[in-house]
Amino acid sequence: MESVLKEIIDTIQDGKTELDDAWLSRLLRRHNRKRPAGEPQLAKRHLRPFYLKLKAEKPEMLATWGVDEICERNLLRLLQIKPRRTASGLATVTLVTKPHPCSSNCLYCPSDLRMPKSYLPNEPACRRAEQNFFDPYLQTYSRLRALEAMGHITDKVELIILGGSWNDYPLDYQLWFVTEVFRALNEFGHEDGHGLGREFGHGHGREHGRELSQPTNDSVNERRKAYEDAGLTSDAKQAAEQCRPLQIRVNEGELNYNNALALLQAQASHEHLSLVQRASREELADQQRRNEHAACRSVGLCIETRPDLITSESARMMRELGCTKIQMGIQSLDQRVLDCNKRQVSVEQIAESFAVLRRYGFKIMVHMMLNLLGSTLELDRTGYRTLVSDPRFCPDEVKLYPCVLVESSQLMREFERGTWQPYTEPDLVCLLADCVNMTPAYTRISRMIRDIASTDIVAGNKKPNLRQTVESARKTEPNERQEIRQREIATDDIGLDELHVEIVEYTTSISNEKFCQWVNTEGKIAGFLRLSLPFEGSTAMIRELHVYGRVAGLDGSELGGTQHLGLGRSLIELACEHAQAAGFTSLRVISAVGTREYYRELGFCDEELYQVRRLT
Ligand code: SF4
């Protein structure tokens, strides 16, 4: 391993060779061929930990190799695993809430008792959640550690909380969950986590007054032990075993998810959990304040819920939690299809939820499901066109995917009766390609499949690379009018002199919207800002500011990306100019907890739920 590392370092210092993944693979293959039979093969993932170990234990050796700051930065960048994970500019940490009843019972929705409604244990985030007792602190901690081990910078973290319908969980649980996530961010890389085992997170490491490098494994183990003592398991096989008898009854249509879960959770340990999984608003606010200056800051928090659960009151509460984006299932805009799938929501309620969320400044991400029971290719096409063009809707992000059949859903009965069939692949690809073509420049299609393992799919698309098939069917080059994801600069570097600002304007039921984007001549996008100019009131709103490029540390420590080049700041000044020209006297921003300091530096003052800059 040492000789491989030395060769990489020498090549970096030499500066004559283009170093990328392909070069590294060739080098590893060459070295592996020379290894004696029976010795384990070297892989990229071994190199970074080995380098860090060497740095800690034999710094003098690295000094004799001449490793300086620039050389190390290039080395770590080369050794980074899965660079796309942070290519959107952020390290994403996805968390899953515990199994809990959902107030709807949609026909196509998986009902796996080990998971919150609509999720399956084989999905990566769900697997991690189960391994961590669905504890928010443990999930956050282990994900951050995994990302760091892969060489990613974790200063700026986008949090995504998944699991059924967030607003169906008791408020106490909501407050606790988010407080614990912030606690984990605050303590990761900063504080001693001793005391974390105390009743699932009440009390924190600060009480011990020491500033150590990370919560120790001991303290995490303590917390895990508290769950084990309460009779819970983090073992997938054991969990499956515990659920099996009730799961069979659910799969056979004899019990629904909520009833079966009630039977499963009718144990003292679950009652105990609901008593200790609670936090006060003050505890939350305290953790949020600490996060403003923490090493791992929340730069976005997304929560998943249903349109009919969105009210002014719930929107306000989600904002209080530090939420910046709401993800909600729309699935269809055809009332007959919604009813047929037992969605218990009306198109009017969906439209109203958009208006409320936009008024509160949230980024709006929706799920749209094709091929639902009772739908057709044409209804799906029309429904999607309505979604992206009707002023009552116009989401910022869409997860657009076909319905797939899983064993635990009620759709099984329809499939067996022959009343539901998946579309053929050519029909599906053609439909998705049409949908992509209809999508405006200010909308991002984040996904085209649900993250369900093919082994769990009874019928429907099993291709994980469906998106690539759709893109090849479209055969178009990026341009500034296309949906966002196709145009993101991802891991590429881009010259500032290649960029110019373009503004796409559109109208919604409550506002004029300006999507201001930095693009190059091919339409590749380096950053954007969403400015909302409401028809009522004198305050405009920045709903989103995003600059792409390899994630930059808060101290600007990663070079090569577009962050920290002033693209964001110039978009904010542009937003101020446009808002003022339109007659607004102030500009609010729906800042994430960890970006408050950034906006203060740009002249924004703290308000109760937002930050605001006067424009006069
Ligand atoms: S609302 Fe969502 S989680 Fe609840 S049953 Fe419907 S799809 Fe499943």
The 10s digit of each residue's pLDDT in 91-115 is 899 999 999 999 999 999 999 999 9
3-class secondary structure, 305: strand
C-alpha of residue 55 to centroid of ligand 1, in Å: 49
Q: What is the pLDDT of residue 461?
A: 95
Contact residues for 288 (Cβ-Cβ < 8 A; gap 6+): 182, 322, 593
Q: Are 19 and 78 in contact (CB under 8 A)?
A: yes
C-alpha of residue 68 to centroid of ligand 1, in Å: 53
Q: Are 594 and 292 in contact (CB under 8 A)?
A: yes
C-alpha of residue 457 to centroid of ligand 1, in Å: 18
Q: Which of 97, 86, 191 minimizes the C-alpha distance to 147?
A: 86
The string of DSSP letters for 543-575 reads EEEEE-SSPPPTT--S-SSSTTSSHHHHHHHHH
C-alpha of residue 104 to centroid of ligand 1, in Å: 6
Q: Which atom of ligand 1 is nearest to the CA of 102?
A: 4
CATH pick for 485-614 out of 3.30.565.10, 3.40.50.1110, 3.40.630.30, 3.40.50.300:
3.40.630.30
In testing the pocket of ligand 1, which one of 96, 98, 100, 102 has its CB within 8 Å of the most ligand atoms?
A: 102
In testing the pocket of ligand 1, which one of 115, 165, 406 has its CB within 8 Å of the most ligand atoms?
A: 165
The DSSP secondary-structure symbol of 293 reads T
Single pTM value for the model: 0.84
In testing the pocket of ligand 1, which one of 96, 100, 103, 104 has its CB within 8 Å of the most ligand atoms?
A: 104
Residue 556: exposed, middle, or buried by beta-carbon count in 10 A (0-12, 13-18, 19+)?
exposed
C-alpha of residue 412 to centroid of ligand 1, in Å: 16
C-alpha of residue 266 to centroid of ligand 1, in Å: 22
For 390-499, where are the alpha helices, taking DSSP H only? 411-417, 425-438, 466-474
CATH of domain 326-475: 3.30.750.200
C-alpha of residue 165 to centroid of ligand 1, in Å: 7
For 267, 365, 366, 394, 456, the CA distances from 398, given in Å and listed in that order, are 39, 6, 5, 10, 24
Please tell me the distance from the alpha carbon of residue 550 to that of residue 607, in angstroms, as a whole number. 31
In testing the pocket of ligand 1, which one of 105, 115, 117, 409 has its CB within 8 Å of the most ligand atoms?
A: 117
End-to-end Cα spacing for the chain: 62
Mean pLDDT of the chain: 88
C-alpha of residue 444 to centroid of ligand 1, in Å: 23
- For ligand 1, atom 1, name the residue with the nearest CA: 104
Q: What is the pLDDT of residue 6?
A: 86
Q: What is the pLDDT of residue 311?
A: 97
Domain ranges of the chain: 2-81, 95-305, 326-475, 485-614
3-class secondary structure, 451: coil
C-alpha of residue 248 to centroid of ligand 1, in Å: 20
In testing the pocket of ligand 1, which one of 103, 105, 109 has its CB within 8 Å of the most ligand atoms?
A: 109
Ligand 1 pocket, residues with Cβ under 6 angstroms? 102, 104-106, 109, 117-118, 164-165, 306, 329
3-class secondary structure, 415: helix
Q: What b-and-e string marks burial along 515-548, b requiring 16 or more CB atoms within 10 Å of the CB?
A: bbbbbbeebbbbbbbbbbbbeeeebbbbbbbbbb
Q: What is the pLDDT of residue 56?
A: 78
C-alpha of residue 346 to centroid of ligand 1, in Å: 15
Contact residues for 447 (Cβ-Cβ < 8 A; gap 6+): 399, 400, 401, 467
Q: What is the pLDDT of residue 200?
A: 44
Q: Which atom of ligand 1 is nearest to the CA of 306?
A: 1
- For ligand 1, atom 3, name the residue with the nearest CA: 164
Q: What is the pLDDT of residue 17?
A: 75
Please tell me the distance from the alpha carbon of residue 81 to that of residue 520, in angstroms, as a whole number. 28
Contact residues for 46 (Cβ-Cβ < 8 A; gap 6+): 1
Beta bridge partners of 588: 541, 612
- For ligand 1, atom 5, name the residue with the nearest CA: 105
Contact residues for 33 (Cβ-Cβ < 8 A; gap 6+): none
Please tell me the distance from the alpha carbon of residue 426 to that of residue 85, in angstroms, as a whole number. 30
Segments of the chain with pLDDT less than 50: 191-213, 551-560
Residue 462: other Cβ atoms inside 10 A: 16
